[in-house]
Amino acid sequence: MQTILGSQVGITRRRLTLLMAFFGASATSTAWPSHAQSFPDRPIKIVVPFAAGGPTDVIARLIGQSMTARLGKSVLIENLAGAGGRIGAKAAAGAPADGYTLLLGGTNVNAMLGAIYKDLGFDPAQSFVPVAAICTDSMALGVNPGLSARTLEDLIDFAKRNPGQLKYGAPQGIYTHFAGEFFKIKTGTDIMFVPYKGGAPAMNDVIAGHIDMIFNPKSTLLPQFRASKLRPLAVTSGKRWPELPETPTMEELGVSGFPAEVWFGLLAPAGTPPSVVDMLNAAVNEGLGSPEVREGLGKLGLEPKIGTAKEFSEALAQQVKEWKVVVDATGIKGE
């Protein structure tokens, strides 16, 4: 499915050039290759490897509309969902390396898939060049309010006294699934995993009481906590969430080793000209500095990440290390 975002409102090339220089870009207004001088001359497509309506999709549409306004060409969002992000990522990896096809990737696709699957048909790291980080998210453990456990200690105690009775849900093979399995290993509990085709059905079922608990990002859990539809027991971030100051971190409660952040950002097929990457990076960063984008991300509890393509690359490399520990600890591998 493709959606055209926003109107075609241009910005001056000089403004982009100044932004590129500010963020460490190599291109200048006086010495651009021909492909950079004409870029973009047609719509740009962002491939979202997950279904419409989820956090990744919402982030893509928000940044896509901002890029449309700043680059003067429409940005299309194409949802290619399935296989834990593999279908969309593979399609983006095989696209021409010209800057007109981008991937909304990050932790789940570019940092975790390589640790889970041997043969993807593409390399989650080498098949792409990072363009720009967009934001970071963190996770929390939420439970149905009808559950007797009021604290994480209560939950762990109940799970140990009633092995196999508690149930948690997640799409199979993504970071929320591995967070649940890692939690079981770190706490020595036996909790049943219920696989779902998407995060939304899992969320609906824990709210309805069909399952007991869920690990999910802040962007999707925070509204449920605020509405008292779910009860927060712990967050995975390094610090407590400002929105939930009474909810402790996993680390505080002695459950260590959870990666603190989940990253989202844009990547392009490997071989995309650096000058094009620089222009895209500058457009994203300018949008991230705008009140409308910051407000949109803020409503989801997401933290904007303004920086260079190199800094995004370094962040993803660190994510690879952190999530490999989690994947290896669970022993779960894809076919």
Q: 238-286, pLDDT tens digit by residue?
A: 999 999 999 999 999 999 999 999 999 999 999 999 999 999 999 999 9
pTM: predicted TM-score of the whole model, two decimal places: 0.84
- The four Cα atoms 17, 107, 94, 3 give a dihedral, to 10 degrees, of -70
Residue 2: per-residue pLDDT: 46
- Return contacts of 307-311, CB within 8 angstroms, 24+ apart: 307/23, 307/132, 307/133, 308/23, 308/24, 308/25, 308/281, 309/129, 309/130, 309/131, 309/132, 309/277, 309/278, 309/281, 310/24, 310/130, 311/133
Sign of CA dihedral 103, 108, 114, 116: negative
Residue 82: per-residue pLDDT: 85
Q: How far apart are CA 36 and CA 120, in angstroms?
A: 32
Q: Phi first, then psi: what are they for 10, rounded to 5°? A: -85, 165
Residue 197: per-residue pLDDT: 81
Residue 164 is given by DSSP the state T
Q: Are 41 and 71 in contact (CB under 8 A)?
A: no
Residue 198 is given by DSSP the state S
Q: Which domains does the chain possess?
A: 2-135+261-330 (3.40.190.150), 139-235 (3.40.190.10)
What b/e sequence results for 221-234 when a residue is b if at least 16 CB atoms lie within 10 Å of its CB, and e otherwise? bbebbeeebbbbbb
Strand-pair partners of 47: 78, 103
Q: How far apart are CA 1 and CA 222, in angstroms?
A: 28
Q: How far apart are CA 177 and CA 174, in angstroms?
A: 5
Question: Which residues of the chain fall short of a pLDDT of 70?
Answer: 1-37, 335
